[in-house]
Structures are given as C-alpha cells and as structure tokens.
Amino acid sequence: MIENTKYTNKYNFAFIDEATKKEIRRKLLKAVAIPGHQVPYSSPEMPISRGWGTGGLHITLAVIGKEDVFKIIDQGSDASVNACNLREFVNGMTGCETTFDTAEATLIQTRHRITEEELTDKQIIVFQVPLPEPLRMVERYEYKTLQMHAEADYAKMYVSLYESYVRHGAIMQGAGYPVMVNGRYIMSPSPIPRWDTPNLNQAQTLFLFGAGREKRLYAVPPFTDVEPLEFEDVNFEIEDFSKSECYKTGYKRAFLDEIYSDEGSRKYVISDSNFLDKKSEKQETRQYSNTYIDQLQEYGL
C-alpha cells in the first residue's frame, strides 16, 4: 500500500527553501559590498509576525550552518519572550546549538541592542530592523528617499537634526540614531540605543541588518567607518548613566535598564542579561571601548 505522506512532509533545513536562501545570500553579498546601502530582497513570509523580526530571521536562516552556535537577544535579554520563541524556532529548524554566552556564539541575532561584550571577527551579528530608511522621518515617499540616497542629498536630514536642537536644546533622536557609513550612505543602525552606536565603528565583526516588512537588507562590513551625524558645535552624545548604577553589581559602564518596584521606587540593572550574569559571577569580560564612554570616564563619571 502506498503510504499517505501528505501531512508528514519534513521542513527544509533552516525552513526557507534553498533557492530563496541563495537569493538572500546573494543580496547580502551586495549589501556587504556597498556598506550602508539598502538592498531590496524577496522577504518570504515567516511563521512569526511581520515586524517581530522576520528580516533578522531571513538573514539568520540564510547564513546559518550546522556547526553554528546561535544566540538571540531582545532588548539585551536572552529570555525576552520573542527571543525565546525565535531561538526555539531556529533550533528546531536547524538543530544548531544555542547559547546564552556572548563569547561562545558564532551567530547572534539581536533586537535593539549590541552585546556589551566586544564581538570578534569570528562572529556575525544580525539585527532585526523595524524601519530601515533613516530618511523616512523627513521624507515619506520611498521613491524620493531612493533618489536622495543616490544623490547623497542629505540636507533634509541635517535640517531636521538642527530643528530638533533649536526646539529642544538637543538632538532628540533616542534610539536608532542615524549614522554615516563609509562616508557615503546615511544608515539607520536599527533602534539600538545611542550607547551602542559608536561600537559599530571600525568593528571586527560583520553586522548584517534585515528589515522583513520593508523588504530591505543592508550591512556594515568589518573595519568600516560608522559615524553618528553631528555638527561641529553640537555633538552626538550617548545616554548618561553617571548618576545611576546597576543595583546588583554596582557597575556603571554598561547600558542600564530602569526597573520600578511595586512601591514605585526606581533602580537600575545591566540591560545585557548575559553580561549581567558574568559581572555578578565576577567573570572576565572583554568590553567594547569607545571615545564616548572613555570621555565619560575622563570627567570622573
């Protein structure tokens, strides 16, 4: 008797079919070749919602191999609900080992953070990007932003930063602070806090960005200039945690999350959950250093 296998089909390795994975990898090569430039791609539907990290998943699934050790964080945490869900999915579809340990991972997918620990040239970090177009806040039409990028016409962007300064006394862009990549393209670094932005500059690691809903990929290859937009007299600044410290470790030199207790008091804790664990256990960690953090320290902060 012929067995009915209609409902028992196994999924392809890493879920997506091979032809589409190949397409995504080719588009990634293009993205790496033109740092900061957004490359349109097919963006197949995933079993997770649009806007929940489909772009990151496309890249992860397109580049992951059987030997990879996979880590995924959401807002710095390995245990955030979405991260748990995606980790299980990637693990289920590839059989890859997963880890919480930043140093151990070969492939890291992230939402809204770069790890506090410095990444190496053996690692790739994949960003989930909600809004890839940095010019969207000044120009709503895609065909116009495309033209502006082509002509490197970024005047509107600078004007908007200037207007923000005039109105509020500071450039109010919080997360996702726009950056200039390789002196050519303005890029949205995904909504990472300003704290993380300088770590993109001249890094050893390959940074890949995937915006699923908007169907765009882009990349920052290792050792590439990534400069936050600023003016001669008004400079980019990172978040200031000088007056607060992690309540568990007393550590100041990391991005801190604000947490409120039931009675309304406020305390801070290190946002990166793996880094917090390592600090709590007094383990060795190799942290990013950049001029902005070092500056804070010079001021005795």
Partner 1 sequence: MGYVAVKGGTEAIHNASELAEFYRVKGNTTPIDIKQIRAQMRLAIDKVMGEGGIYAPEYAAIALKQAEGDVYEAAFILRAFRTTLQRNYYSQVINTREMFVKRKISASFREIPGGQILGPTRDYTQRTLDTAKAIETAIDIKTFLDDFDAKIDPEKLEGISTFGKVIDLLQQEGLLAPADPTEDRSLIDITREAIKFPAPRSARLQMMARAETGGLMALGYSSQRGFGSVHPTVGELRFGAVPVRVKDAGGRNRYIGKIEVTENEMITGSKAAKKGTPPYFTIGYGLCFGHNETKVICMSTLDTAMRRPEMGAPANDQEFVLYHTEGVEAMGFTNHLKLPHYVTFQSSLSNTRAAVERNNNANKEVEQQMIQMQSV
Q: Which of residues 265-294 bind partner 1 (CB under 8 A)?
A: 269, 271, 273, 276-277, 280
Shortest Cβ 34–partner 1 spacing (Å): 16
Q: Which of 45, 67, 263, 298 binds partner 1 (CB under 8 A)?
A: 45
Q: Which of residues 66-125 bind partner 1 (CB under 8 A)?
A: 74-77, 79-85, 88, 112-113
Q: Which of 134, 191, 221, 228 binds partner 1 (CB under 8 A)?
A: 191
Count, residues near partner 1 per rule CB under 8 A? 71
The phi-psi region of residue 145 (left if phi > 0; otherwise alpha if psi is between -120 and 50; otherwise beta) is alpha
Identify which range of 62-70, 174-182, 282-290, 293-301 contacts partner 1 by CB under 8 A.
174-182
Q: Which of 41, 207, 209, 251 binds partner 1 (CB under 8 A)?
A: 41
Q: Which of 5, 122, 168, 264 binds partner 1 (CB under 8 A)?
A: 168
Nearer Cβ to partner 1 (197/224): 197
Q: Is 64 near partner 1 (CB under 8 A)? A: no
Nearer Cβ to partner 1 (204/242): 242
What span, in angstroms and rounded, lies between the C-alpha atoms of 193 and 177? 8
Q: Which of 35, 36, 44, 210 binds partner 1 (CB under 8 A)?
A: 44
Round to the nearest angstrom and report the end-to-end CA distance of the chain: 76
Shortest Cβ 217–partner 1 spacing (Å): 9
Shortest Cβ 1–partner 1 spacing (Å): 21
Nearer Cβ to partner 1 (48/69): 48
CA atoms within 13 A on the CB side of 13: 10
Q: Is 46 near partner 1 (CB under 8 A)? A: yes
Residues contacting 55, CB < 8 A, separation 6+:
43, 128, 129, 209, 210, 211, 212, 213, 214, 216, 217
Return the closest-CA partner of residue 98 out of 63, 119, 72, 124: 72
Q: Which of 137, 175, 229, 234 binds partner 1 (CB under 8 A)?
A: 175
**149 vs 130, 172, 180, CA distance in Å?**
19, 23, 11
Identify which range of 13-21, 115-123, 153-161, 227-235 contacts partner 1 by CB under 8 A.
13-21
What span, in angstroms and rounded, lies between the C-alpha atoms of 267 and 261? 8
Q: Is 234 near partner 1 (CB under 8 A)? A: no
